[in-house]
Amino acid sequence: MTTLPSSPGALAGIKVLDLSRVLAGPWCTQMLADLGADVIKVERPGAGDDTRQWGPPFLKDAAGNDTNQASYFTACNRNKRSVTIDMASAEGQALIRQMALQADIVVENFKVGGLRQYGLDHESLRALNPRLIYCSVTGFGQSGPYAERAGYDLMVQAMTGMMSITGRADSEPGGGPLRVGVAVIDLFTGIYASNAILAALHVRDNATNGTGQGQHIDMALLDVGMAVLANQASGFLATGEAPGRMGNSHPSLAPYQDFPTQDGNMLLAIGNDGQFQRFCAAAGQPQWAADARFATNTLRVHNRAELIPAMEVVTRTRTTAAWIALLEDKAVPCGPVNNIAQAFDDAQVKARGLAVTLPRWKDGEAGDGVAQITGVASPLRLSANPPVLRNAPPALGQHTDEVLGELGLDAARIAQLRSGGVV
């Protein structure tokens, strides 16, 4: 169901010029759009964002048939207005500069120096609009020996060591390094970028000591990939020992992993000694809690080779649902190992309204066969200014006439630009 809050959103009145494509940049700007910012996405005429073609899977039309529009694009472009502009043309560059004059924020993810040839780089646009907050998302940052390299999520997962700690150990069946199942570095980079942008907005506009000036934000996938190694990085920096792959086990907690059950698997996330004691009592194995080898978490980590196999014998005696019913009642953290279909069917996911259907076209607009799109709701829950989920991800160029009209161009001029391939 679609729920439209009455609030205009925390970022109402903020204008964002989105020159990014694929995932990290669009993820950032979608977060800003959900918070109420007016995000104008500039795309290539006739082609658009690369992810519009990254299928299957594809969006369905009203009859349930596949369209030629990939669902990937819809994951990160909600609440935006799509404008097609050829930035390689002088007229297109002039239009984008005109839009930048009215913008608060620019987000781009071209290679370092890639927009300089068009006069759309940070220095050029800041000269026109000193209040502009300009966020550059690259693979390796604006400096260093790799600065001019293209960077991709998978490459960065490999380079940062994330793949080296993801997957089963080499000694186990199916062992070897693995990527995370979604482009997690891109997603984290988008989140970090949105945080940096909000900080820059505060510095510019703070009523007490705001500077009134924008700034340049240098966001690199590599930097983010290293940062989100989190406890694994801190462990290495403390000891000099590189961690390895442990499957679903935790390097610092035990038992904290998946366990086989009578009909599948369950996840136990025991984070303290009290939870372990309650698990042992519920499972009918009080001797484990009394065993000196397992008395504390540190001891259980050191002796997991003895503890885990013994637990697996017991966990196979009940179904997953039976274990969850038993352990939840004892405040032992546990849950099923769901696939994505099961996750969306979960009662809590439904209660939180995490699948949201939004209209693509306003009443009276000529559509493209895709009237509405269902996506995942924003997880941001502000009590006074909640996210405003207004519109589905746009069709290519859906708002070109609307946005150019706001710049002062009349219908004849827009038609001229369209016939010339500029928009």
Q: Catalytic residues, which ones?
A: 186
3-state secondary structure 378-411: CCCCCCCCCCCCCCCCCCCCCCHHHHHHHCCCCH
Whole-number Å distance between alpha carbons of 227 and 118: 33
Whole-number Å distance between alpha carbons of 215 and 364: 41
Cβ-based neighbour number of residue 211 at 10 Å? 13
Whole-number Å distance between alpha carbons of 247 and 196: 33
Q: Which two tokens stand for residue 212?
A: 């009134």
Contact 307, 249 (CB under 8 A): no
Cα radius of gyration rounded to whole Å, the chain? 25
Enumerate residues 6+ apart whose C-beta is below 8 A from 40.
15, 16, 17, 18, 80, 81, 83, 99, 399, 403
What is the number of helices (H) and of strands (E) in the chain? 16, 13
> What single-letter amino acid sits at 369?
G
Residue 147 CA, chain-centre distance (Å), reads: 23
